[in-house]
């Protein structure tokens, strides 16, 4: 029998390629990992405008820095500290306690910090209690004295190194208690203690408030001396009457005007907050525990929101990629030769034409 050229046909089995699904699985895994990384990075706090003092044993761990305030690493023989203002005009900075305070119950607040003020003209430094939300950095540091720029009730203790007739200052070396105004409701002359606020020497300050006596007291001493027995200045005030159940934030602020180059440094700051029971005085209960629980609950809600959002993004992406793979596979199938319907599933046959040399065909016939 004579074999005609291009009439011989070999049927070769061809199995469907599943590499598309493998590539899809790898792409999905890579996308999930990438999504988690993006959400994790976005959840981290920005350090461009706010810095934390976490890890510094001289400060409570929940204190943030704003403005020109910065942490300086201590040189040999000196300790690290926070510099609120630089030796330049229009410099301002403050440190803020992250956890709010409430004076709704029988609350006792005790705080102490050590600081120094360079021997230059300037306003000095102030410890301030301010109600409202935490994100009120737009209110201070401002352009007013100490960087305080507020239009609502606040209470502050100023360590003033300037005599400003506008605020009826006693002299350029005084401690005052301010309530809603920089005109002090109680003031003391620091010179009577043989101290100079802007001598560059490290000083210690203690501020105490007890809701039972409704008395705010301020003590001051040199850095090497213990806590004084007597207050340098005090004032009777009901903080609950002023703020009620509002959140109150505690901060330390300072600023320089256009003619000042005063440097204010803070070396330590600790806050002790207690809720003293009206019937039991043996064991005070701290309010920070309740605040921590509330903060933990908010953190869990944030984490749950991030996980839910990530799951939604992954699900939508999975559907889109799956539809894309189906479309791509269908397009690939249509580009191949059409296969008869009677072939069993999973195996496809392709026609391969083989050209046979005519001279060899004649020899076979012979």
Express each pLDDT in 189-209 by its tens digit: 999 999 999 999 999 999 999
Percent of the chain exceeding pLDDT 90 equals 35
Convert the pLDDT of each residue in 18-36 to its tens digit.
555 555 555 555 555 555 5
- When the pLDDT of each residue in the chain is averaged and rounded to a whole number, the result is 74
CA angle (78 as vertex; 76, 82 as ends), nearest 5 = 125
Instruction: Count how many residues are written for the chain.
Output: 366
Strands 347-354 and 8-15, sheet pairing: antiparallel
Which neighbouring-strand residues pair with 349? Answer: 13
What pTM value is reported for the model? 0.62
d(CA 95, CA 84) in angstroms, rounded, equals 8
- The whole-angstrom separation of Cα 362 and Cα 298 is 91
Walk me through the domains of the chain, giving residue ranges and CATH numbers. 8-41+303-360 (no CATH), 52-286 (2.60.120.200)
Under 8 Å between Cβ of 190 and 157: no
Mean of pLDDT values over 79-83: 86
pLDDT score, position 149 = 62
Task: Give the model's confidence band at 313: pLDDT under 50 very low, under 70 low, under 90 confident, else very high.
Answer: confident
């Amino acid at each position: 029998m004579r074999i005609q050229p291009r009439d011989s046909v070999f049927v070769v089995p061809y199995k469907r390629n599943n590499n598309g699904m493998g590539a899809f699985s790898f792409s999905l895994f890579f996308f999930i990992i990438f999504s988690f990384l993006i959400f994790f990075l976005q959840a981290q706090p920005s350090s461009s405008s706010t810095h934390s003092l976490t890890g510094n044993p001289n400060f409570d761990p929940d204190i943030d820095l704003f403005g020109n305030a910065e942490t300086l690493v201590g040189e040999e023989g000196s300790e690290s500290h926070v510099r609120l203002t630089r030796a330049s005009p229009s410099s301002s900075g403050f440190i803020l306690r992250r956890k709010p305070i409430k004076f709704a119950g029988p609350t006792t607040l005790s705080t102490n910090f050590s600081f120094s003020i360079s021997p230059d003209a300037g306003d000095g430094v102030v410890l301030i209690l301010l109600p409202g939300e935490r994100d009120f950095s737009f209110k201070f540091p401002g352009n007013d004295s100490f960087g305080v720029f507020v239009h609502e009730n606040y209470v502050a203790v100023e360590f003033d190194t300037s005599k400003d007739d506008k605020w009826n200052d006693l002299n350029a070396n005084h401690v005052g208690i301010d309530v809603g105004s920089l005109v002090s409701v109680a003031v003391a002359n620091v010179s009577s203690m043989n101290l100079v606020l802007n001598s560059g020497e490290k000083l210690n300050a203690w501020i105490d408030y007890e809701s039972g006596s409704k008395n705010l007291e301020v003590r001051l001493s040199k850095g090497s001396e213990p806590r004084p027995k007597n207050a340098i200045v005090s004032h009777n005030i009901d903080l609950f009457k002023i703020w009620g159940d509002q959140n109150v934030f505690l901060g330390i602020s300072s600023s320089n005007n256009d003619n000042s180059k005063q440097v204010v440094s803070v070396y330590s700051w600790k806050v002790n907050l207690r809720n003293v029971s009206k019937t039991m005085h043996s064991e005070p209960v701290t309010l920070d525990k309740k605040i921590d629980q509330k903060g933990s609950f908010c953190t869990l809600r944030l984490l749950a929101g991030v996980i839910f959002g990530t799951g939604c993004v992954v699900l939508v992406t999975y559907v889109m990629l799956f539809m894309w793979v189906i479309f791509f596979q269908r397009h690939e199938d249509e580009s191949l030769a059409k296969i008869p319907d009677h072939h069993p599933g999973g195996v496809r046959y392709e026609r391969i034409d083989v050209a046979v040399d005519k001279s060899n065909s004649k020899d076979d016939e012979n």
